[in-house]
Structure 1
Amino acid sequence: MTGLVAPAPTADADAAAVVADGWFPPVPLASIRDTLRLGDGAVTTSRLVAATEGAILTCLRLLSDWRSGHAANGVESLAAVTDQQVNQVNMADLLWLRAVRYFAAAELADGHRDLAATQEGSDRAEAKDQTADHYRRIANHAVADLLSIGAEERAPRNRVSLV
Protein backbone atom coordinates (compact mmCIF):
# COMPACT_ATOMS: atom_id res chain seq x y z
CA MET A 1 0.00 0.00 0.00
CA THR A 2 1.35 3.40 -0.94
CA GLY A 3 -0.55 5.44 1.59
CA LEU A 4 -2.17 7.55 -1.15
CA VAL A 5 -5.92 7.19 -1.07
CA ALA A 6 -8.37 8.92 -3.37
CA PRO A 7 -10.97 10.99 -1.57
CA ALA A 8 -14.40 9.45 -1.24
CA PRO A 9 -16.85 10.68 -3.87
CA THR A 10 -18.72 13.70 -2.61
CA ALA A 11 -22.42 14.14 -3.09
CA ASP A 12 -23.58 17.40 -4.58
CA ALA A 13 -26.70 19.13 -3.27
CA ASP A 14 -29.72 18.03 -5.30
CA ALA A 15 -30.13 21.36 -7.05
CA ALA A 16 -26.44 22.27 -7.24
CA ALA A 17 -25.81 24.26 -10.39
CA VAL A 18 -23.48 26.87 -11.82
CA VAL A 19 -25.38 29.91 -13.01
CA ALA A 20 -24.35 31.54 -16.28
CA ASP A 21 -25.53 35.02 -17.23
CA GLY A 22 -29.30 34.61 -17.05
CA TRP A 23 -29.77 34.39 -20.81
CA PHE A 24 -28.06 31.00 -20.88
CA PRO A 25 -29.54 28.51 -18.40
CA PRO A 26 -27.75 27.29 -15.26
CA VAL A 27 -25.75 24.08 -15.57
CA PRO A 28 -26.71 21.41 -13.02
CA LEU A 29 -23.65 19.65 -11.61
CA ALA A 30 -25.54 16.37 -11.85
CA SER A 31 -25.76 16.80 -15.64
CA ILE A 32 -21.97 16.64 -15.76
CA ARG A 33 -21.23 14.17 -12.97
CA ASP A 34 -23.94 11.67 -14.00
CA THR A 35 -23.18 11.83 -17.71
CA LEU A 36 -19.40 11.58 -17.79
CA ARG A 37 -16.93 9.42 -15.94
CA LEU A 38 -14.82 12.01 -14.18
CA GLY A 39 -11.70 11.08 -12.26
CA ASP A 40 -13.07 7.70 -11.19
CA GLY A 41 -15.31 9.39 -8.62
CA ALA A 42 -12.52 11.47 -7.10
CA VAL A 43 -13.65 14.87 -8.46
CA THR A 44 -14.75 17.03 -5.57
CA THR A 45 -17.66 19.41 -5.84
CA SER A 46 -15.35 22.44 -5.68
CA ARG A 47 -13.20 21.11 -8.55
CA LEU A 48 -16.33 20.35 -10.59
CA VAL A 49 -17.71 23.84 -9.93
CA ALA A 50 -14.39 25.45 -10.95
CA ALA A 51 -14.21 23.40 -14.15
CA THR A 52 -17.84 24.22 -14.95
CA GLU A 53 -17.21 27.93 -14.38
CA GLY A 54 -14.25 27.74 -16.77
CA ALA A 55 -16.37 25.90 -19.32
CA ILE A 56 -19.12 28.49 -19.10
CA LEU A 57 -16.58 31.30 -19.57
CA THR A 58 -15.24 29.53 -22.68
CA CYS A 59 -18.73 29.05 -24.08
CA LEU A 60 -19.74 32.65 -23.35
CA ARG A 61 -16.67 33.87 -25.25
CA LEU A 62 -17.33 31.58 -28.22
CA LEU A 63 -21.04 32.47 -28.35
CA SER A 64 -20.81 36.18 -27.50
CA ASP A 65 -21.59 37.65 -30.94
CA TRP A 66 -24.28 35.03 -31.65
CA ARG A 67 -25.98 35.70 -28.31
CA SER A 68 -25.79 39.48 -28.78
CA GLY A 69 -27.42 39.19 -32.20
CA HIS A 70 -30.31 37.15 -30.83
CA ALA A 71 -30.74 39.39 -27.78
CA ALA A 72 -30.77 42.47 -30.05
CA ASN A 73 -33.61 40.85 -31.97
CA GLY A 74 -35.66 40.48 -28.79
CA VAL A 75 -34.88 36.86 -27.96
CA GLU A 76 -35.09 36.76 -24.17
CA SER A 77 -33.42 33.42 -23.45
CA LEU A 78 -31.55 30.59 -25.10
CA ALA A 79 -34.67 28.41 -25.06
CA ALA A 80 -36.47 31.02 -27.17
CA VAL A 81 -33.96 30.66 -30.03
CA THR A 82 -35.68 27.53 -31.33
CA ASP A 83 -38.69 25.41 -30.52
CA GLN A 84 -37.04 22.24 -31.81
CA GLN A 85 -36.66 19.53 -29.22
CA VAL A 86 -34.66 16.36 -28.71
CA ASN A 87 -36.03 13.91 -26.14
CA GLN A 88 -38.46 16.62 -24.97
CA VAL A 89 -35.60 19.05 -24.22
CA ASN A 90 -35.15 22.30 -26.12
CA MET A 91 -32.39 21.71 -28.70
CA ALA A 92 -30.55 24.97 -27.93
CA ASP A 93 -30.54 24.23 -24.19
CA LEU A 94 -29.33 20.71 -24.90
CA LEU A 95 -26.45 21.97 -27.06
CA TRP A 96 -25.49 24.55 -24.39
CA LEU A 97 -25.37 21.88 -21.70
CA ARG A 98 -23.40 19.57 -24.00
CA ALA A 99 -20.81 22.25 -24.78
CA VAL A 100 -20.36 23.23 -21.12
CA ARG A 101 -20.30 19.60 -19.96
CA TYR A 102 -17.55 18.59 -22.36
CA PHE A 103 -15.41 21.72 -21.89
CA ALA A 104 -15.58 21.09 -18.13
CA ALA A 105 -14.66 17.43 -18.63
CA ALA A 106 -11.69 18.44 -20.80
CA GLU A 107 -10.41 20.78 -18.08
CA LEU A 108 -10.77 18.05 -15.47
CA ALA A 109 -9.02 15.49 -17.70
CA ASP A 110 -6.15 17.94 -18.25
CA GLY A 111 -5.81 18.66 -14.55
CA HIS A 112 -6.19 15.13 -13.19
CA ARG A 113 -2.66 13.80 -13.66
CA ASP A 114 -1.08 10.73 -12.17
CA LEU A 115 1.84 11.34 -9.84
CA ALA A 116 3.78 8.29 -11.01
CA ALA A 117 7.08 9.00 -12.73
CA THR A 118 7.07 5.58 -14.38
CA GLN A 119 6.51 4.74 -18.03
CA GLU A 120 3.05 3.49 -17.06
CA GLY A 121 2.26 6.87 -15.50
CA SER A 122 3.51 8.61 -18.63
CA ASP A 123 1.32 6.39 -20.81
CA ARG A 124 -1.73 7.22 -18.67
CA ALA A 125 -0.97 10.94 -18.98
CA GLU A 126 -0.85 10.64 -22.77
CA ALA A 127 -4.19 8.80 -22.77
CA LYS A 128 -5.70 11.57 -20.63
CA ASP A 129 -4.42 14.18 -23.10
CA GLN A 130 -6.24 12.31 -25.86
CA THR A 131 -9.37 12.14 -23.72
CA ALA A 132 -9.25 15.89 -23.05
CA ASP A 133 -8.80 16.59 -26.78
CA HIS A 134 -11.75 14.30 -27.56
CA TYR A 135 -13.91 16.15 -25.01
CA ARG A 136 -12.92 19.52 -26.50
CA ARG A 137 -13.82 18.27 -29.98
CA ILE A 138 -17.30 17.26 -28.80
CA ALA A 139 -17.74 20.63 -27.04
CA ASN A 140 -16.68 22.57 -30.15
CA HIS A 141 -19.12 20.54 -32.25
CA ALA A 142 -21.91 21.49 -29.84
CA VAL A 143 -20.92 25.17 -30.10
CA ALA A 144 -20.88 24.97 -33.92
CA ASP A 145 -24.29 23.29 -33.93
CA LEU A 146 -25.64 26.00 -31.63
CA LEU A 147 -24.23 28.74 -33.88
CA SER A 148 -25.95 27.04 -36.83
CA ILE A 149 -29.44 27.44 -35.36
CA GLY A 150 -31.17 30.10 -37.43
CA ALA A 151 -28.08 30.77 -39.54
CA GLU A 152 -28.13 30.86 -43.33
CA GLU A 153 -25.05 28.64 -43.41
CA ARG A 154 -23.98 25.96 -40.99
CA ALA A 155 -21.10 26.95 -38.74
CA PRO A 156 -17.97 24.91 -39.47
CA ARG A 157 -17.28 22.14 -36.98
CA ASN A 158 -13.52 22.09 -37.51
CA ARG A 159 -11.42 24.74 -35.79
CA VAL A 160 -7.73 25.00 -36.28
CA SER A 161 -5.41 27.25 -34.36
CA LEU A 162 -1.95 27.79 -35.74
CA VAL A 163 0.60 28.39 -33.05
Structure 2
Amino acid sequence: MTGLISSPVPAPEPIETMVDADGWFPPIALTDVRDRLRLGEGAVTTARLTEAIEGGMVHAFRELVDWRTARVLAGALILEDVTDQELNGRNFAVLLWERIVRYFAGADLAADYRDVTATDQGLDRSAEKDLTGDELRRRALAAVADLRSIGGDPVARNRVELI
Protein backbone atom coordinates (compact mmCIF):
# COMPACT_ATOMS: atom_id res chain seq x y z
CA MET A 1 0.00 0.00 0.00
CA THR A 2 1.42 3.36 -0.99
CA GLY A 3 -0.71 5.65 1.13
CA LEU A 4 -1.80 7.75 -1.83
CA ILE A 5 -5.38 8.90 -2.03
CA SER A 6 -6.85 9.87 -5.36
CA SER A 7 -8.93 13.04 -5.48
CA PRO A 8 -11.41 13.40 -8.30
CA VAL A 9 -10.90 16.24 -10.74
CA PRO A 10 -13.65 18.83 -10.30
CA ALA A 11 -16.28 18.81 -13.02
CA PRO A 12 -15.78 21.67 -15.47
CA GLU A 13 -18.26 24.49 -15.30
CA PRO A 14 -20.75 25.04 -18.14
CA ILE A 15 -19.36 27.02 -21.08
CA GLU A 16 -21.69 29.94 -20.38
CA THR A 17 -20.37 30.48 -16.82
CA MET A 18 -18.98 34.01 -16.70
CA VAL A 19 -17.54 36.44 -14.20
CA ASP A 20 -19.21 39.78 -14.90
CA ALA A 21 -17.07 42.89 -14.88
CA ASP A 22 -18.72 46.27 -14.56
CA GLY A 23 -20.64 46.52 -17.82
CA TRP A 24 -18.05 48.67 -19.58
CA PHE A 25 -15.47 45.90 -19.53
CA PRO A 26 -16.90 42.59 -20.81
CA PRO A 27 -17.33 39.45 -18.70
CA ILE A 28 -14.72 36.70 -18.64
CA ALA A 29 -15.63 33.05 -19.29
CA LEU A 30 -14.31 30.63 -16.69
CA THR A 31 -13.73 27.95 -19.33
CA ASP A 32 -11.57 30.39 -21.30
CA VAL A 33 -9.25 30.95 -18.34
CA ARG A 34 -9.23 27.27 -17.35
CA ASP A 35 -8.51 26.11 -20.93
CA ARG A 36 -5.74 28.61 -21.61
CA LEU A 37 -3.84 28.37 -18.33
CA ARG A 38 -2.64 25.07 -16.95
CA LEU A 39 -2.81 25.64 -13.22
CA GLY A 40 -3.26 23.44 -10.19
CA GLU A 41 -3.23 20.24 -12.25
CA GLY A 42 -7.03 20.08 -12.23
CA ALA A 43 -7.31 20.96 -8.54
CA VAL A 44 -8.60 24.52 -9.08
CA THR A 45 -12.25 24.59 -8.10
CA THR A 46 -14.82 26.77 -9.82
CA ALA A 47 -15.12 28.91 -6.68
CA ARG A 48 -11.34 29.46 -6.49
CA LEU A 49 -11.11 30.20 -10.23
CA THR A 50 -13.96 32.71 -9.92
CA GLU A 51 -12.21 34.39 -6.99
CA ALA A 52 -8.94 34.59 -8.94
CA ILE A 53 -10.70 36.12 -11.96
CA GLU A 54 -12.40 38.67 -9.70
CA GLY A 55 -9.01 39.53 -8.22
CA GLY A 56 -7.59 39.85 -11.72
CA MET A 57 -10.39 42.24 -12.63
CA VAL A 58 -9.81 44.37 -9.54
CA HIS A 59 -6.11 44.62 -10.38
CA ALA A 60 -6.95 45.46 -14.01
CA PHE A 61 -9.45 48.14 -12.95
CA ARG A 62 -6.76 49.82 -10.84
CA GLU A 63 -4.23 49.69 -13.68
CA LEU A 64 -6.68 51.08 -16.24
CA VAL A 65 -8.72 53.65 -14.28
CA ASP A 66 -7.27 56.79 -15.90
CA TRP A 67 -7.15 55.25 -19.37
CA ARG A 68 -10.76 54.11 -19.11
CA THR A 69 -11.94 57.51 -17.88
CA ALA A 70 -10.33 59.18 -20.89
CA ARG A 71 -12.01 56.70 -23.27
CA VAL A 72 -15.42 57.15 -21.65
CA LEU A 73 -15.07 60.93 -21.90
CA ALA A 74 -14.18 60.45 -25.58
CA GLY A 75 -17.51 58.66 -26.08
CA ALA A 76 -16.75 54.93 -25.71
CA LEU A 77 -19.86 53.35 -24.21
CA ILE A 78 -18.16 49.94 -23.84
CA LEU A 79 -14.61 48.67 -24.25
CA GLU A 80 -15.31 47.41 -27.75
CA ASP A 81 -16.00 51.02 -28.85
CA VAL A 82 -12.37 51.99 -28.15
CA THR A 83 -11.06 50.52 -31.42
CA ASP A 84 -12.27 48.99 -34.66
CA GLN A 85 -9.04 47.01 -34.93
CA GLU A 86 -9.54 43.26 -34.98
CA LEU A 87 -7.32 40.27 -34.54
CA ASN A 88 -8.55 36.86 -35.63
CA GLY A 89 -12.05 38.31 -36.11
CA ARG A 90 -12.27 39.64 -32.54
CA ASN A 91 -12.03 43.17 -31.17
CA PHE A 92 -8.42 43.95 -30.25
CA ALA A 93 -9.23 45.82 -27.03
CA VAL A 94 -11.44 42.97 -25.80
CA LEU A 95 -8.69 40.45 -26.53
CA LEU A 96 -6.24 42.50 -24.48
CA TRP A 97 -8.76 42.85 -21.61
CA GLU A 98 -9.22 39.07 -21.51
CA ARG A 99 -5.46 38.58 -21.59
CA ILE A 100 -4.94 41.04 -18.72
CA VAL A 101 -7.51 39.38 -16.47
CA ARG A 102 -6.43 35.85 -17.40
CA TYR A 103 -2.78 36.48 -16.58
CA PHE A 104 -3.46 38.35 -13.33
CA ALA A 105 -5.79 35.49 -12.29
CA GLY A 106 -3.14 32.96 -13.31
CA ALA A 107 -0.49 34.72 -11.23
CA ASP A 108 -2.83 34.60 -8.22
CA LEU A 109 -3.51 30.90 -8.73
CA ALA A 110 0.17 30.08 -9.28
CA ALA A 111 0.93 31.61 -5.89
CA ASP A 112 -1.77 29.52 -4.18
CA TYR A 113 -1.07 26.18 -5.81
CA ARG A 114 2.61 25.82 -5.11
CA ASP A 115 4.33 22.58 -4.28
CA VAL A 116 5.10 22.68 -0.56
CA THR A 117 6.93 19.36 -0.39
CA ALA A 118 9.88 19.54 1.99
CA THR A 119 12.28 17.72 -0.35
CA ASP A 120 14.88 19.55 -2.42
CA GLN A 121 13.03 18.55 -5.56
CA GLY A 122 9.77 19.93 -4.15
CA LEU A 123 11.47 23.19 -3.21
CA ASP A 124 12.88 23.48 -6.73
CA ARG A 125 9.38 23.01 -8.19
CA SER A 126 8.07 25.67 -5.81
CA ALA A 127 10.73 28.12 -7.00
CA GLU A 128 9.80 27.34 -10.62
CA LYS A 129 6.17 28.13 -9.85
CA ASP A 130 7.25 31.47 -8.33
CA LEU A 131 8.87 32.26 -11.67
CA THR A 132 5.67 31.21 -13.40
CA GLY A 133 3.63 33.60 -11.24
CA ASP A 134 6.08 36.40 -11.97
CA GLU A 135 5.98 35.60 -15.68
CA LEU A 136 2.18 35.63 -15.71
CA ARG A 137 2.16 38.98 -13.89
CA ARG A 138 4.69 40.35 -16.41
CA ARG A 139 2.49 39.24 -19.29
CA ALA A 140 -0.55 40.87 -17.69
CA LEU A 141 1.30 44.16 -17.28
CA ALA A 142 2.51 43.98 -20.90
CA ALA A 143 -1.11 43.56 -22.00
CA VAL A 144 -2.06 46.57 -19.82
CA ALA A 145 0.58 48.64 -21.64
CA ASP A 146 -0.72 47.42 -25.01
CA LEU A 147 -4.30 48.35 -24.10
CA ARG A 148 -3.24 51.77 -22.78
CA SER A 149 -1.52 52.36 -26.13
CA ILE A 150 -4.86 52.20 -27.97
CA GLY A 151 -6.11 55.70 -28.62
CA GLY A 152 -3.06 57.42 -27.19
CA ASP A 153 0.69 57.55 -27.18
CA PRO A 154 2.47 54.18 -27.08
CA VAL A 155 3.04 53.00 -23.52
CA ALA A 156 6.31 51.23 -22.76
CA ARG A 157 5.97 47.64 -21.61
CA ASN A 158 8.81 47.93 -19.11
CA ARG A 159 8.17 49.94 -15.96
CA VAL A 160 10.67 50.37 -13.18
CA GLU A 161 10.10 51.98 -9.81
CA LEU A 162 13.20 53.24 -8.09
CA ILE A 163 13.26 53.07 -4.34
The two structures have a TM-score, normalised by structure 1, of 0.94
What SS class does the counterpart of residue 157 from structure 1 fall into?
coil
Tell me how far 1:113 sits from its aligned partner. Answer: 1.7
Q: Distance in 1 between matches of 2:29 and 2:80?
A: 16
2:49 corresponding residue in structure 1: 48
Distance 1:130 1:113, change over 3 A: same
What CA RMSD, in Å, does the superposition of the two structures yield over aligned residues?
1.3
Structure 2 alignment gaps of length 5 or more: none
Partner of 1:157: 157
Partner of 2:86: 85
Which residue of structure 1 aligns with residue 59 of structure 2?
Answer: 58
User: Counterparts of 1:134 and 1:36 in 2: how far apart (Å)?
Assistant: 12
Paired residues in the alignment total 162
Contact 2:100-2:144 within 8 A present in 1 as well? yes
Task: Indicate the larger mover: 101-110 or 2-11.
Answer: 2-11
Kindly provide the amino acid, as one letter, of the partner of residue 64 in structure 1.
Answer: V
Residue ranges of structure 1 left out of the alignment (5+ in a row):
none
Identity of aligned residues (%): 49
Letter in 2 for 1:160: V
Q: CA deviation at 1:5?
A: 3.7
Question: Residue 35 of structure 1: CA displacement?
Answer: 1.1
In the aligned structure 1, how far is the partner of 2:159 from the partner of 2:56?
A: 17
TM-fit CA distance, 1:6: 4.2
- Provide the rounded CA distance (Å) in 1 between the counterparts of 2:162 and 2:125: 27
Q: Which position in structure 1 is the counterpart of 2:96?
A: 95
1:132: which partner in 2? 133
Q: Distance in 1 between matches of 2:161 and 2:88?
A: 34
Question: Which amino acid counterpart does residue 44 of structure 1 have in structure 2?
Answer: T
Deviation (angstroms), 1:14? 2.0
SS in 2 for 1:116: coil
